[in-house]
Amino acid sequence: MKIDQSFSDIEPSTNYYLLVRAERRMFKLYFKDILFIQGLKDYVILHTEKQKIITAMNIKTIHDQLPRNIFVRVSKSYIVNSMHINSLDNNTIYIKENEIPIGNIYRDYFFKEFVTKKMLGK
């Protein structure tokens, strides 16, 4: 199943990119290029097709800066860009070759807001 959404749906009050400090530089990451974000204690890893950027920030802080109609937190340690989901089952989201677990407390919200509303056919 492919979840389809366009970047024209981005909340109007947001920009189309995020500035992230890492390796003594500022990186400009467009929302459309971020595949998913992985939290590791006080760091997050932003995964894109071309690179992984590690920055000192917790996952809640970065989640609060992302458009909620595109990015969804699916576990204690992961936020996914719903536009890059290739397939999924009850416990796992597949983005490219990555398998991202869906946490129990996030499952109902994810399926209600990002799967059921977009699903064609039953």
User: How many whole angstroms separate alpha carbon 17 and alpha carbon 19?
Assistant: 7
Q: Where are the alpha helices (DSSP H) in the chain?
A: 59-63, 104-110
pLDDT for residue 14 is more than 80: no
Question: Would you state the pLDDT for residue 119?
Answer: 66
Share of the chain above pLDDT 70, in %: 84
Question: Would you state the pLDDT for residue 121?
Answer: 56
Edge to edge, what strands does the sheet with 34-40 contain? 52-56, 43-48, 34-40, 78-81, 71-73
The larger pLDDT score, comparing residue 12 to residue 43, is at 43
Nearest Cα residue to 57 out of 29, 98, 97? 29
User: How many whole angstroms separate alpha carbon 45 and alpha carbon 42?
Assistant: 10
pLDDT for residue 32 is more than 50: yes
Question: Would you state the pLDDT for residue 122?
Answer: 53
Q: How many other CB atoms are found less than 10 A from the CB of residue 71?
A: 20
CATH of domain 7-116: 2.40.50.1020
Question: Would you state the pLDDT for residue 116?
Answer: 78
Query: Which tens digits make up the pLDDT trace of 66-120?
Result: 999 899 999 999 999 999 999 999 999 999 999 999 999 999 999 988 887 776 6
pLDDT for residue 7 is more than 50: no
